[in-house]
Structure 1
Amino acid sequence: MQVTNQTGDQHEIPTEGGKTNQYLLPFILITSLFFLWGMAHGLDGILIPHLKKACQLNNRESTLIDTSIYFAYFIMAIPSGMLIKRFGYKNSIITGLLVFAIGAFLFVPAANSRTYELFLFALFVIGCGLTILETSANPYAAILGPAESSSFRLNLAASFNGLAAMLGPILGGIFILSGINYTPAEMAAMSDTAKTAYLLEEASAVKLPYIILGSVLVLVAIIFYFMHLPSMKSKQTENEVKPGFFSVLKFSHLSWAVVAQFFYVGAQVCVTSFFVRVAQKEAGLDEKTAAYFLGIYGLLFMIGRFSGTFFLKFVKDYVLLSIYCIISALLCLVAIYGSGITVIYALGGLGFFMSIMFPTIFSLGLVGLKSNTETGSSWLVMSIVGGAILPYAMGTLIDMKHDDIQAGYIIPLICFVIILYFGVFGHKVKNSIS
């Protein structure tokens, strides 16, 4: 049996006895991957303030956590696609899970030695595993069944990513954050022995959660190894010319989508990376309560995914994207100039209005590409490197402003203005393959 997915690509779906295979269990397993990499990203917003404290870092240094993870996306995007072509979806997924697990287990020696560079290497390894998983699971979820329901499957799977975005910060706040914060004066008054013991205890708090996460990943990899997954093989349409890696950017809407995705991912990571710290500094919350509010942000993100999918039945995708960008820019202004708990409400609102941006930009960028979809997808995955660069810029700005975290939110504000341009003008298809 042959199906065509929403991007125009054709795939062979194996059949047995004239009947299409049942995809429910494979789809459940694929959906679990969305939840697992959502947990990894959900914990980032906890790791940044936690390791800033445990390893005694400034704001710019703490954002290297984001840089390590998201730079891996840039490095691994093309190799991940090659891995899928060479070994198939199933083997690629297993590889991604095991690489992800290795990175999680590396948190143990990093915590034991309180070595920030080793933490960064572990996070880079995790990022490599996540890239392989996302490059494999996103298209596989879309083609795992009838073409007409591919969008529904992808959005359903992505909703569990949103669930993890809510649970990750809450669980991280419970099991990683101690709630103990000393002022610089109090730290200076400590003896060297007491200070070392305190910092080691803080660093060690990450070990158990990441050991559990790594063990779950290995277990899921074993399940995938023994589970039969339908083989999906791409078929190129006859007489369709496939341009090179760089020449595909001649499609202006794809080029603008790559730019928009770069700034969207950067904006999202900026918002969550400093959420806990701004909640402590501006709203006067303790770090555990701040982590809870970050979990509420994740809840709003998940609700936004569901409601956005509903609204898209009645509103053009580029119109909804543009409206959400305007609202997000206004919420950034509240985060910059507001005070107290209002700032946290504004950041929570951003979770709702950012929720549809990634998949919407992704789909708009691939319109009309047909067999060039694979190359276009690689570019859009590589653009996730915005999450490595823009938070570093934000941390640098905050340090320059003498730890004025609110001032740093001008970075995501600029991002939303650029994405708005894509929603209004840049998405328009000026050249496509007929």
Structure 2
Amino acid sequence: MKIFKKNSLKISDNKRTRAAELTLRESIYPICLVTILFFLWGFSYGLLDTLNKHFQVTLNITRSRSSGLQAAYFGAYPLASLGHANWILRHYGYKPVFIWGLCLYGVGSLIAWPCILHRSFGGFCAAIFIIGNGLGSLETAANPYITVCGPPRYSELRINLSQAFNGIGTVVAPVLGSYVFFKHTVDDVASLKNVQWVYLAIACFVFLLAVVFYFSPIPEITDADMAFQAEETHAGTDVQPFKKQYRLFHATFAQFCYTGAQVAIAGAFINYVSETRGDTDDPLAAQFLAGAQGTFAMGRFVGVILMKFIRPRYVFLLYMTMCIVFISPSITQRGNTGMAMLYLTLFFESIIFPTIVALGMRGLGKYTKRGSGLIVGGVAGGAVVPPILFAVADLRDSTATAMAVPLAFFIAAWSYTLCVNFVPAYRDVADKFTTTEVGITNAHAHDEETGVGAGGVVGKEVKESPAETEHIDIEKS
């Protein structure tokens, strides 16, 4: 059968596969397949926020100690995005990283099963660390893949639309937690046993999905493809050494600060509501968290629509500014007013992460894979900021007061938003990609021969001799 042929997991980065010129129609299947991954880590992330509070009650641990879940989960991200996953991405390609990440996710889920059964918080943190490595690997490949797979001018729309399914996953997990983990049982240990079946189901599903990815002919995108795309848009900055890619480093810093603030707010949401809103128990607070995550998902869909008519950097500026505006009152307000401020904050958080990824990768050309690892590595902020927030909450005995911590990190991330909109060196690169016709008009004009491209791309492929490829690489270095 044809599907069992040509499933090589390695492709040369020196060779163009014409994937940088995919049209909208050609990019639909790979984008849909990769979007499934966004739902998976959204579900895992939402589940973590729910379990955070539940472990505080079941195991009688402090808020700061329970934040070890977030520390283990997000602390694994830089190990993946800057280490093993990025190495696989640069030496083999996107598909092998997808398969590797799914396998790690499955292994971690299997390990979580006995740890939950025996109420081992340390063991569960270890399982979450392995899961974090798997999801960090998936994010290392999936975020840049969605950004570059298809016409460049729609990259922000694509990644925000895919990330919207991440938001749906974060809604489903708290709902599941409130109705399965917390309710219909008077025994906290019995409620934890319910969780183990969820992780077993996750393991089975992701192993099956890894097989699907292996046999799926998704297009592979090489450094040569990205160098071509950057050159065609006249926005390439890869003529400079990697150490001079200042826009990339600023985007990584913004990602670190923003993700840390987002994770801290979500992780503390149940505590915040149960403390500040009278007669609110944990199951009800978990349902409120599901509602807040629903506004988060809605914010992404609204953001995608706005970006269709307004330049993405303008929408980015609006959303980031509103995060600062609405998190501030939550520090002093209580009850429904304070909770409403967090709802609005989550709505405007929605597009920030994927938009930083898309804008930060603009013009990186042959540095795209390396740069994507750095930006995704910024997710490590999720391991740093929550412990700070919970430490302040324990010190002040108030989660509301501790919301000053994510406010400070939002302000730090805002610096990148301002530069993208008002500093020419940032703004011009973003705008050139927004107006490019690559992948829209005269698609594959630079291809020479019809055939099957590397990585399973059906269509046209550039054929170069090894000598010609080497010549091109020397010129671009």
Alignment TM-score > 0.5, same fold: yes
Q: 1:242 to 1:105 in 2, by over 3 A?
A: farther
Q: How far, CA to CA, are the matches of 2:35 and 2:314 in structure 1?
A: 29
Per-residue deviation at 1:379? Answer: 1.6
Residue 344 of structure 1: aligned partner: 339
In 2, Cα distance between the equivalents of 1:94 and 1:256? 30
Cα distance in structure 2, aligned partners of 1:280 and 1:179: 20
Give runs of aligned pairs for residues 183-198 of structure 1, distance below 5 A: 198=187
Tell me which residue corresponds to 1:187: none
Letter in 2 for 1:413: L
**Among candidates 309, 324, 328, match of residue 329 of structure 1:** 324
2:399 paired residue number: 405
Residue range with higher mean Cα deviation, 371-380 or 98-107: 371-380
Question: How far apart are the structure 1 equivalents of 2:271 and 2:26?
Answer: 47
Asked whether the equivalents of residues 11 and 143 of structure 1 are also in contact (C-alpha less than 8 Å), the reply is no
The answer to whether the Cα contact below 8 Å between 2:90 and 2:369 also exists between their aligned partners in 1 is no
1:287 CA displacement: 1.7
Which runs of no fewer than 5 residues in structure 2 stay unpaired? 1-13, 430-475
Q: CA deviation at 1:367?
A: 3.5
Q: Tell me if the contact between 1:257 and 1:426 (Cα under 8 Å) persists in the aligned partners.
A: no
Amino acid at match of 1:111: I
- CA distance in 1 between counterparts of 2:424 and 2:245 reads 8
Q: Which amino acid aligns with 1:54?
A: T
Distance 2:161 2:310 in 1: 19
Give the counterpart of 1:234 among 223, 229, 232: 223
Residue 387 of structure 1: how far off its partner (Å): 0.4
Please list, as runs of the form range in 1=range in 2, the aligned pairs for 1:231-380 lying within 5 A after superposition.
231-235=220-224, 236=227, 241=239, 243-244=241-242, 247=243, 250-284=244-278, 285-380=280-375
Residue aligned with 2:93, SS:
helix
Structure 1 stretches lacking a partner, 5+ long: 1-8, 182-197
Write the mapping of 1:211-222 to structure 2, written as runs, cut at 5 A: 211-222=200-211
* Cα deviation 1:31-70 (Å, max 9, x = unaligned): 1111111111111210110112222210110111111011
Is the CA contact (8 Å cut-off) linking 2:159 and 2:358 kept in structure 1? Answer: no
Contact 1:319 1:424 in 2 (8 A): no
Are the equivalent residues in 1 in contact too, given 2:116–2:192 (CA < 8 A)? yes
Task: Tell me, in whole angstroms, the C-alpha distance in 2 between the residues paired with 1:20 and 1:258.
Answer: 29
Relative to structure 2, which stretch is displaced further, 423-432 or 106-115? 423-432
Q: Determine whether 1:391 maps to 2:390.
A: no
Q: Matches of residues 168-207 of structure 1 in structure 2 within 5 Å?
A: 168-178=173-183, 198-207=187-196
Q: Following the alignment from structure 1 to structure 2, what is the Cα–Cα distance between the partners of residues 137 and 64?
A: 26
CA contact (8 A) 1:111 1:200 kept: no
Change (3 A) 1:305 1:210: same
Question: Using the alignment, how far apart are the partners of 1:25 and 1:312 within structure 2?
Answer: 22
Match of 2:51 in 1: 47
Does the 8 A contact of 1:175 with 1:209 survive in 2?
no
Kept after mapping to 1: 8 A contact 2:143/2:354: no
| Contact kept in structure 2, 1:331 and 1:349, CA below 8 Å | yes
Cα separation, 2, equivalents of 1:63 and 1:172: 18
CA displacement 1:349-368 (0-9 Å, x = unmatched): 11111111112222333334
CA contact (8 A) 2:80 2:140 kept: no
2:276 match: secondary structure = helix
2:97 to 80, 84, 92: 92
Is 2:68 aligned against 1:64?
yes
- CA RMSD in angstroms, aligned pairs only: 2.9
1:146–1:319 distance in 2 versus 1, CA, 3 Å: closer
The one-character-per-residue Cα deviations of 1:341-382 (angstroms, maximum 9, x if unpaired) are: 212111111111111111222233333433333332222111
Q: Encode CA deviations 1:386-418: one digit per residue, 9 max, x unaligned.
A: 10000000011011112x110110011112222
Aligned to 2:138: 133
- TM-score w.r.t. the length of structure 1 is 0.84
The aligned runs of 1:131-170 (5 Å cut-off) are 131-147=136-152, 149-170=154-175
* Contact kept? 1:177, 1:205, Cα under 8 Å: no
Q: CA deviation at 1:118?
A: 0.5
C-alpha spacing 1:287/1:224, structure 2 compared with 1 (3 Å): same
Tell me, yes or no, if the aligned pair for 1:242 and 1:371 is still in contact at 8 Å.
no
Q: In structure 2, what is the Cα distance between the partners aligned to 1:29 and 1:39?
A: 16
Residues 88 and 308 of structure 1: CA distance in aligned 2, closer, same or farther (over 3 Å): same
Corresponding residue for 2:199? 210
CA separation of 1:117/1:319 partners in 2, compared to 1, >3 Å: closer, same or farther? same
- Count the aligned residue pairs: 402
Following superposition, the deviation at residue 91 of structure 1 comes to 2.3
Cα distance in 1, alignment partners of residues 37 and 92 from structure 2: 19
3-state DSSP of counterpart to 1:12: coil
Same amino acid, percent of matched pairs: 29
TM-aligned CA distance change 1:100 to 1:326, over 3 Å? same
Match of 1:194 in 2: none
Question: Could you tell me how far 1:83 is from its partner in structure 2?
Answer: 0.8
Shift of 1:225: 2.8
**Residues 206-228 of structure 1: CA distance to partner in whole angstroms, max 9, x if unpaired?**
21111111111122122223333
Whether contact under 8 Å (2:156, 2:358) holds in the other structure is: no
